[in-house]
Amino acid sequence: MAPRSRRRRHKKSSSSVTPVVVTPPTVVTSVPLTSSKPGPSIDALGFFSLDNNVPGLSHLILQKLNMKSYEEYKLVVDGGTPVSGFGFQCPQEMFQRMEDTFRFCAHCRALPSGLSDSKVLRHCKRCRNVYYCGPECQRSDWPAHRKVCQELCLVAVDRLMEWLLVTGDFVLPSGPWPWPAEAVQDWDTWFSMKRLHLDAALDAVLGSHAMATLWASVGRPRPDPDILQGSLKRLLTDALSRPLTLGLGLRSLGIDVGKTGGSIVHVVGASHVETFLTRPEDYDELGYMFPGHQGLRVIMVGVDVATGFSQSTSTSPLEPGTLQLGAHRGLYHDFWEEQIETGRTAHPDLVVAFHPGFHSSPDLMEAWLPTLLLLRDYEIPTLITLYSHQELATSLQILVELDTHITAYGANPFMSLKPEQVYSNPNKQPVYCSAYYIMFLGSFCQLDKRQLEGKVDDEV
């Protein structure tokens, strides 16, 4: 636990920034989790925040997915078996009902249930991604929609192509890096290094029976091969962004991955996004980033960790070259007291939080404050990621107020290249997962608030 005397000195910070709702696909393994005290669920907060902008949208989603409650929705997200009539007779019905969850007027926010018999929701013919209840709403919305229409074309394709990741028909191509890790600084160099192997892997997916079945089931024409290949590449960066961002943190913060017994990384605030559908081999790229490493153990900690995610919080030394994934359900400062201070789990070499969101909600800030102070006071190398420049600036201000020593921040060279639509506000500019990062170590930030704000504006 962080020293209590230092905790009392700081007030909770909050922000009016609207949280971004992202719904990536997700699966699991079958070993039960450990559990500790419950905390606020970012998944639940995100789901019900949909109604803030489109009243009734959460109910529409449950209805179209044949679910009776959020608890049942959460059960399915966690990999459990629902108790009601969830399920679909055929792939065509599944894709249709999933698409129906996006059916509301992007301008007036009307849901199908609120329309007269003479009106029907029709999608934009360019992007096929937003809907309108009539020509008047579409014309009125065009000044806002035209700014994002082209980008939302990619969103509409990626949303369908993700199904190949869920079914396992698109397996992430991986293998030892033929180039030295120092030469792979971003996605451009990563794609150059993987070019020959990657082209063959993507061509195999494009020509597969699963791809043909997908586009025969979705009720829309199959896009050209170059569009589909671009989508597969974006999905690949989305899946590999997390392990390579961990690698960025290990490398930038000077963590010695060659030490005997291996290195430990904790992913805090983890939810179904990081754990559902995630397999140990999905993090192989992290191992290839550090040839000769003496073992890497990644432990996901969060109140929304998928129920079936494999548990492993052992303190036993790792075998050289091995990579293990594990999880613990609960708040990180509770996990620290129950697992680390008791010696059940090894002390972390690096802590990473993907989109912690503490800037966006007082409830989340209240849950995050003990963890942030713990990480600061125990001088644990820490990296957090953010969606946008606005989140970067606001989060930096909060961390400055907490006296953290910020060592680096900026654009993430391994951000996801897959655009994410804000579900309930489709004409808001799409964002990209882990687009920015902040690294901090210990206390005493060397920049005051005014200097820091100036540097953010200059660098981004």
Q: Is residue 14 part of a domain?
A: no
Mean pLDDT for the stretch of residues 366-371: 92
Q: Is residue 35 part of a domain?
A: no
**Cβ-Cβ contacts under 8 Å for 184 (sequence gap 6 or more):** 177, 190, 193, 289
Q: Is residue 207 part of a domain?
A: no
3-state secondary structure 262-316: CEEEEEECCCHHHHCCCCHHHHHHHHHHCCCCCCEEEEEEECCCCCCCCCCCCCC
The model carries a pTM of 0.82
Which tokens sit at 231?
Answer: 């989508």
- Candidates 379, 375, 373, 364; CA nearest to 402 is 373
CB atoms within 10 A of CB 37: 12
Which DSSP symbol is given to 170?
A: S
Q: Is residue 118 part of a domain?
A: yes
pLDDT of 4 > 70? The answer is: no
Q: Is residue 163 part of a domain?
A: yes
Terminal Cα distance for the chain, rounded: 35
- Candidates 170, 344, 350, 143; CA nearest to 246 is 350
> How far apart are alpha carbons 23 and 164 in whole angstroms?
16
pLDDT of 132 > 70? The answer is: yes
What pLDDT, in 10s, does the model give residues 80-95? 666 655 667 788 888 8
Query: Where is pLDDT greater, at 304 or 376?
Result: 376
Domain that holds residue 159: 43-167
> How far apart are alpha carbons 355 and 107 in whole angstroms?
28
Write down the pLDDT at residue 97: 83
Q: Is residue 347 part of a domain?
A: no
Write down the pLDDT at residue 8: 32
Q: Is residue 316 part of a domain?
A: no
Q: Is residue 47 part of a domain?
A: yes
Which tokens sit at 88?
Answer: 């679909």
Write down the pLDDT at residue 310: 59
> How far apart are alpha carbons 169 and 148 in whole angstroms?
30
In contact, 208 and 169? CB cutoff 8 Å? yes
Write down the pLDDT at residue 93: 84
Cβ burial of 114 (10 Å; 0-12, 13-18, 19+) is middle
Number of domains in the chain: 1
Write down the pLDDT at residue 86: 61
> How far apart are alpha carbons 420 and 443 in whole angstroms?
34
pLDDT band at 153 (very low <50, low <70, confident <90, very high): very high
In contact, 438 and 445? CB cutoff 8 Å? no
> How far apart are alpha carbons 460 and 454 in whole angstroms?
10
Q: If you search the block for the tokens 């909600």, which residue do you land on? A: 361
Which uninterrupted H or E stretch holds 137? helix 135-145
pLDDT of 37 > 60? The answer is: no
In contact, 296 and 260? CB cutoff 8 Å? no
